[in-house]
Amino acid sequence: MTGAPASATIAVVGAGIVGVAAALHLRRLGHDVVLIDREGPAAGASFGNGGILARCALLPVAKPGLWRGAPGMLLSRDGPLFLRPASLPGLLPWMRRFIASAAPARVEAAVRALAPLLLDSVDQHQALAADTPAARYIRPTDYLYLYRDRRAFLADRLTWDTRRAMGIAWTELEGEALRAREPGLSDARRFGAAMPGHAVIADPGAYVSALADAFRAAGGRLERAAVTALVPDDTGVTLRTEGADLRAGHVVLAAGAWSHRLAAPLGATVPLAAERGYHVDLAQAQGGPRHPLMDAERMMVLVPMAGRVRLAGLAEFAHLNAPPSRAPEGVLTRGVCELFPDLRHETATPWMGPRPTTSDSLPVIGALPGSRRVIAAYGHQHVGLTAGPATGRLVAGLLSGRTPNLDLTPYRADR
């Protein structure tokens, strides 16, 4: 596409990691940029995520065999999946396409599309945060997957075969080797796979806020407003808000789970679900994990962060504005008690927020069909933090008239 003139304002809607990364990249390229969010930087999923730069998270959410296990996940007291019946009618179009996307050929295509957004994610974050206070939050580390035993690890062959094919390496840990890495771990998990080359964001909310501060220090502007519609014309885009309308030459739409409401009138057809994630922060925790851990059985992560351990994960399908459930908090706390029975902490603080999950687990990136003045950058499911800088760099390049270094067809809004 033709680049935006440096003198024309670019409005970025959404101040999570994707929007902030896009705004900062654009400002560094010399564009006049305003970052717009109804609550301010890092108020949603960018605040509450697990904090892992998961370059290994190459398989889409829908993968072969998922639906064989879904009923058990829903019915189990400690299962990772929750569904509120009232949300089911509205979810059906998304679910039909979600199930179809689990076909092996489509999963392979999704892996190829996710790889360039994820594999160099640590480098992308370090480049984005370089020479800013945000850099201190990036902590390189191994990422450790836990299994009940070697047999359970071998049963997860698709995951590890995919990673090997994409260049991800790991060290297998059992017995004393696993205990040396994680002394507080119980015998409930006797096998681990440690992957180097990952990183943790020690405080995701503070990190994204620090990047937003760097954007403002570079001359960018931040507006608090709830955008209700995007109305493009031949010379720009009018952003309807609950207050005064705003005007921009181009718009980057990075509003997370709220994006489809703004994108659908402009031709976006990819179904988007607000897949709610939960976390519990354990303040001043002692005797817990030393590394970021994924418990493959419970599908929850345990992450040492600044001043706390964060328990995160799970998936709940409910209306976007429905109140939080209590059950997921119980699943997370019972999980950490099983894995680290000697862990002690001062307070436990729960949180819930929606992830923007597309039916094929691929983000929407690029111009919307209804107007090339509106560039989509949303729908990153569980990997928004990981892929945020790469996505922001892509859309900044598009708006600067640069040819992207990868084919954007898999991310089309009308795919």
Cα–Cα distance for residue pair 287/344, rounded to 1 Å: 7
Average pLDDT of the segment spanning 278-285: 98
Average pLDDT of the segment spanning 262-268: 98
Angle among Cα 163, 387, 173 to the nearest 5 degrees reads 35
In tens, the pLDDT along 339-378 reads 999 999 999 999 999 999 999 999 999 999 999 999 999 9
**7 has a pLDDT exceeding 90:** no
CB 304, CB 288: distance < 8 Å: yes
Q: What is the pTM of this model?
A: 0.95
Question: What is the Cα 192 distance to its own chain's centre?
Answer: 24
Stated length of the chain = 415
Q: What is the pLDDT of residue 384?
A: 98
Question: What is the Cα 244 distance to its own chain's centre?
Answer: 31
| Average pLDDT for the chain | 95
Q: What is the pLDDT of residue 136?
A: 98
Largest CA distance in the chain: 67
Q: What is the pLDDT of residue 6?
A: 62
**Four-CA torsion 385, 89, 83, 272, nearest 10 degrees:** -10
Average pLDDT of the segment spanning 203-211: 98
Token digits of residue 109: 């295509």
Cα–Cα distance for residue pair 348/376, rounded to 1 Å: 36
In tens, the pLDDT along 45-92 reads 999 999 999 999 999 998 887 666 677 777 688 888 899 888 888 899
Q: What is the pLDDT of residue 67?
A: 66
Cα–Cα distance for residue pair 355/275, rounded to 1 Å: 5
Q: What is the pLDDT of residue 319?
A: 87
Cα–Cα distance for residue pair 279/329, rounded to 1 Å: 7
In tens, the pLDDT along 377-400 reads 999 999 999 999 999 999 999 999
Paired residues of 10 in beta bridges: 33, 250
User: Predicted confidence band at 2 (pLDDT cuts at 50, 70, 90)?
Assistant: low
User: Predicted confidence band at 107 (pLDDT cuts at 50, 70, 90)?
Assistant: very high
Domains, the chain, in order of start with CATH, read 60-104+140-199+272-358 (3.30.9.10)
Average pLDDT of the segment spanning 303-329: 94
Torsions phi, psi for 264 (to 5 deg): -60, -45
In tens, the pLDDT along 129-160 reads 999 999 999 999 999 999 999 999 999 999 99
User: Predicted confidence band at 320 (pLDDT cuts at 50, 70, 90)?
Assistant: confident
DSSP 74-129: HHSTT-SEEE-GGGHHHHHHHHHHHHHTTSHHHHHHHHHHHHHHHTTHHHHHHHHH
**Residue 267 CA: distances (Å) to CA of 254, 264, 335, 343, 392:** 16, 5, 43, 50, 22
The amino acid occupying position 267 is G
CB 240, CB 291: distance < 8 Å: no
Q: What is the pLDDT of residue 1?
A: 59
User: Predicted confidence band at 101 (pLDDT cuts at 50, 70, 90)?
Assistant: very high
